[in-house]
Amino acid sequence: MRTTPVRLVSVLTAAALLAAACTGGDSVLDAGNDDPPETAAPVTTPTVSEPSGSAPDSEVDSTPDQPDAEPDDTAPPETVGPTTTIAPLADLPPCPVEALDAADGPVSITFWHAMANELETALVDLVAGYNSSQDRVQVTLQNQTAYESAIDKYIAGGVGSRPDIVQLPEYVVQAFAQSGTFVPMQACIEAADFDMGPILPRIADTYVFEGIQWAMPFNTSGPVLYFNRQMFEAAGLDPDDPPVSLEELRAASQQLVDSGAAGFGIALDSGRDSGGGWFFEQWFGRAGEPFADNGNGRIAPATEVLFDNDLGLELLTYLQDMTASGLAVTVGDNSGGQDTFFKMIAQDAPAASTIATSAAISSVVAALGSGVAEGLTPDDIGVGPMPGPSDTPSAQPGGASIWIPAGKSDEVTAAAWDFTTYLAAAQTQSTWAAATGYVPMRSDAVELDPIAALYAADPRYRVAYDQLLPTVDDASAVVPALGPLREIRAQTADAVAATYAGGNVEQILADAAAASNALITTYNSQN
Amino acid sequence: MLAPSAFILGLFIVYPLGRAVWLGQQRCNAFGDQCRSNGFDQYLDIFTSNEFQSALRATIILTVITVPLGLFLGVGLAVLADKHLRGVGFFRTAFSSTIATSVAVASLMWLFLLQPSVGALANIDWINSLFPVIKDPGLLQDPDTALPSVAMSSVWAGLGFTFILVTASLQGVPRELHEAAAVDGATGTMRFWKITVPLLAPTLIFVVIVLTTRAFQTFGEVDLLTNGGPRPGNSTTTITYFVYGEASVIASDPGLQAGGAVLLFVILLFLSGLQLRGLGRRTDLG
């Protein structure tokens, strides 16, 4: 009874294995593309009525800093050719901000977030404060444990199982804006005449796609340099003047290693959300170069990445030289985000510094305060701007934002907007930033306690905020908006890891760009 | 009479399986709302792709390490603990304790043991002078040692399961057989191979099948220990991680994910059949 199906399956599998052995290996991303690749797919470079052919220099469409100055249907539709799928704001789900007035009794909404540990405690406090401050809306928090889980669950669920409000990271902007499942935040901003003026332009622009503000920034962070002040002093470096450019970092590392103050000048990694992806994009921004075409993918969907150029080559060569010469050490993929910090407190050959998100500052201070590293107190860790390919501190905002899913009742959407305005308020931002180490997204929040007091008492917390202040009026002000940005970061992470392993950087960069462009082509043909 | 169970089977097994098979020949966007059918030869494309072949290779290596080693250690410990000695209960508890440890907890424990800067293993001098890779770059960071290290964690976590099954089975082996053989002059080794192993065979087959299936479905260890890395090369991306892992290259394509899952199903079906046939023939399993 067993034999027949078993025999059938074994024959089939053997045939498949044989077929596998006989065919050359292609990428799985080409699977099913037997027909000529659909390169002529819907999205081609749109005709933007701005400086022709100068995507790298063209401006990111201005965000609604002054909503009243921007009539309803101005956004980009008229400026972009017919081949794209931009919907004018009027065609997108509306935001009935007044509906809350008509509701009988308090409206309950659920909020999906991805904040853990100290961050979750701070968020719980914020929400409790909101719930008790008024009687029209009651917010229930649902912890999704990580951005990835929130994203997966949001995608997998239907309208009914989606939350009324959700926190999502900056790298999903294009994919989620194009999903057609959200009320654009701009609709609410315009309907309520909400003043975006005090919000730092670079932070607001991070959530703009095709000229529409899709989400409200909430928790903002940026990469900063963490360094061991004791080691800097021992090496004869000034701990109050950490390296800002990559060349200064190289010189400081040389001094740290030569003096024997540290085993390595800096611990680097090849993680997607750090050295292999996010920082690589950041360095392009720092140098004032776009990472992708069509204004870093902000004006219209990008059609290709631009990192396979002199700057890309320069950056990878720098990383390779730093590790090969023993000035820097790589900890690998750093998937938990802690390995670079652990390298700073290793018994043998510790590193004197690392680059990591500013959001880690409260955890680092807490860990050192608990005595995790012998002889190191929280005051021994210094924070400086992210070193990058320029002499001026500057960084692109990262972090996450608040999105309002569409398809809910008017009361629920209005309640979600009301809660959003609370999260975006100056006092909330001040409290939140002080409790977490995130950067307040508004300039007026910085003047309010508790963050004003914290910044005065401990300037380390202010570094991430200050480096977001420089105004950059081109596409490099913000991280690229790319549909498959997550997968593209995996490609650059592979490239950075291969660079550390000693590969040929030109080839590595070309391969990563080709793979990224294939991902973009596939994405554009599917969306 | 069959209707209720047929309905439940249909709803929870047949329909999802059918959907997965259908989805596997499509390419979709991340939201799965725009899909294009490419025909069933897409399965062949997935199977022959570099990434799937590499995942298949990683899975086979993982299986080849974990199944024999898990079986050997499980049987060995069970035989050792099958003696009537004082305090043997403590060892039985200790050896079976990993069954009460979830994969996540076991993996995190190994993650901190193996951490190259501050991990326990990296700071024992004689160990890391004997194996410098533990410190630089780290067992989980080196492309050559990452997969065996994941396998080690997996063997450790699965040991309690094998131990308990084999111990239970050993207690069913009649003492008289051993005593009679001993009277006839059989040594301990001979009695193990001629009496214990044949009588344990049905249990061992079951254990082999379960361990193999478990090895082919390894996900938690990879997700927590290496995230499919180390890059480049992703030597610990197993088929399950390739299908479901968040750092997988197909993480945003439900069509390719379903295709990979169906291929894994077919491979496991084939392997289980082969094991039942090959091993079952040599025992009275029936």
Helix, strand, coil % in chain B, rounded to nearest 5: 70, 0, 30
Please judge whether B231 and A34 are an interchain contact, meaning their C-beta atoms are less than 8 angstroms apart.
Answer: no
Domains and CATH numbers, chain A: 56-220+398-448 (3.40.190.10), 223-395+489-510 (3.40.190.10)
**Amino acid, res. A200:** L
Domain membership of residue B188 (yes or no) is yes
- Region B11-24: mean pLDDT is 91
First-to-final CA distance of chain B: 29
- For A148-186, write each residue's pLDDT tens digit: 889 989 998 878 889 999 999 999 999 999 998 999 999
Per DSSP, the residues of A326-348 read TSEEE-TT-TTS-HHHHHHT-SS
Q: What is the pLDDT of residues A102-158, one digit of tens each?
A: 888 899 999 999 998 888 999 999 999 999 999 999 999 999 998 988 998 999 887
Report CB contact under 8 Å: A3, B277: yes
The Cα-based distances of A154 to A95, A273, A420, B31 in angstroms read: 20, 21, 19, 9
pLDDT at A13: 52
Q: How many domains does the structure of chain B reveal?
A: 1
CA distances from A444 to A102, A154, A193, A424, B183 (A): 32, 33, 18, 11, 93
Whether B123 contacts chain A with CB within 8 A = yes
Question: With bands split at pLDDT 50, 70 and 90, how would you rate the model's confidence at B176?
Answer: confident
Torsions phi, psi for B187 (to 5 deg): -80, 170
Distance from CA of A221 to the nearest CA of B (A): 22
Q: Would B107 be classed as within a structural domain?
A: yes
Residue B195: give the domain boundaries: 40-280
In a domain, B32, yes or no: no
| pTM metric for this prediction | 0.85
Residues on chain B touching A493 (C-beta within 8 angstroms): 231
Measured CA to CA in angstroms, residue A295 lies from A55, A202, A253, A302, A303 at distances of 5, 14, 35, 8, 11
Task: Please tell me the predicted confidence (pLDDT) of residue B4.
Answer: 87
pLDDT tens, position by position, B18-62: 999 999 998 888 888 888 888 888 999 999 998 999 999 999 999
Is the pLDDT at A503 greater than 70? The verdict is yes
The residue behind tokens 């955890």 is A363
CA distance B216 to A459: 52
Best mutation target, B22, B31, B42, B222, to test chain A (most A CBs within 10 A)? B31
Question: Where do the H-state alpha helices sit in A223-360?
Answer: 229-234, 246-258, 278-286, 293-297, 310-324, 339-344
Q: Is B255 on the interface with A (CB under 8 A)?
A: yes
Q: Flag whether B213 is in a domain.
A: yes
> Which of A20, A30, A333 has the CB atom closest to B231's CB atom?
A333
The share of chain A scoring above pLDDT 70, in percent, equals: 85
Out of A79-88, B35-44, B203-212, least confident range: A79-88
When mean pLDDT is compared across A14-23, A343-352, A421-430, the lowest value belongs to A14-23
B127: in domain: yes
Best residue in A3, A26, A27, A28 to probe B by mutation, most B CBs within 10 Å?
A: A28
CB contact under 8 A, B45 and A348: no
- A78 pLDDT exceeds 80? no
Question: Is B260 within the bounds of a domain?
Answer: yes
ipTM for the predicted complex comes to 0.85
Mean of the per-residue pLDDT values for chain A? Answer: 85
Residues paired with B95 in a beta bridge: none
What is the band of A387 on the pLDDT scale with cuts at 50, 70, 90? very high
Q: How many angstroms separate the Cα of B14 from the Cα of each of A209, B5, B78?
A: 42, 12, 39
For residue range A260-292, list pLDDT tens digits in order.
999 999 999 999 989 999 999 999 999 999 999
Least Cα separation, residue A17 to chain B (angstroms)? 9
Is B28 a member of any domain? no
Distance CA A143, CA A220 (A): 19
CA distance to A62, A141, A144, A207, B130, per residue, from A183 (Å) = 20, 20, 21, 13, 60
Note whether residue B182 is domain-resident.
Answer: yes
Residue of B nearest to A30 (CA): B45
Give whole-number Cα distances, A8 to A13, B225, B261, B269, B270, in Å. Answer: 9, 38, 20, 11, 9
Q: How confident is the model at residue A34 (pLDDT cuts 50, 70, 90)?
A: low
C-alpha B140, offset from chain centre: 18
CATH for B72: 1.10.3720.10
Q: Taking residues B247-267, report their average pLDDT.
A: 91
Nearest CA in chain A to B26: A32
Q: What integer pLDDT is reported at residue B145 of this predicted model?
A: 92
CB-CB contact of A304 with A520 (8 Å): yes
Contact B38 A155 (CB under 8 A): no
Q: Could you tell me if B256 lies within 8 Å of chain A, comparing CB atoms?
A: yes
pLDDT band at A8 (very low <50, low <70, confident <90, very high): low
Q: What average pLDDT does this structure show over A46-75?
A: 39
Asked if the C-beta of B268 comes within 8 angstroms of chain A's C-beta atoms, the answer is: no
